[in-house]
Structure 1
Amino acid sequence: MSTQNTEAINTLKGMFPSVDPEVCEAVFEANQANLEQSINALLSMSDPNYKSEENIPAQTESGPNTSEQIKRDEELARSLAAEADSKFLFL
């Protein structure tokens, strides 16, 4: 673990002394080492009155673009599966 991550985890432990230190570390890891997101997560866990100031953006992409992407993803998945199957048969 980097020094910066260790310092961030120590900051979380200092800010949330009532939270188990292992929980602070797990939250930090779950939030991909993002201190601000970890603080928000720990606040929401430890303070029942906490409301995040961040607004979750609504999904803006929909309609034909999304369904086309799903079709392309499915085709790619089938292609990769067929390739993997053919390689397995030759082993």
Structure 2
Amino acid sequence: MSADDIKSTFRKYKLISTGSLLVFLLLAIFINKYLIDNSIQRHYDLGLPYAAADTGFTWMAIIMGLFTVLYLCFYSFEKILLKLLIKPNIESE
């Protein structure tokens, strides 16, 4: 396998993984919003006060953290495989 093949394979799987992570996080955000809206409606129906919790920063921190870890993993794996690919070629000369 050449270095270009490894890079194109990693690019392909990076896009697939990023898309999967994005879909999962969007689904989690929408479910969270639905549950919060449902809780607000239940509190209103029962006449109870509702203490709002702002979770915008928390979700953004989780999203940025997961994407950072994903990209660092792909970067590390790609560099390791490229180094392993180049190392035997240098030793054989």
TM-score by length of 2: 0.32
Relative contact order, higher structure (CA 8 A, sep 6+): 2
Structure having the higher helix fraction is 2
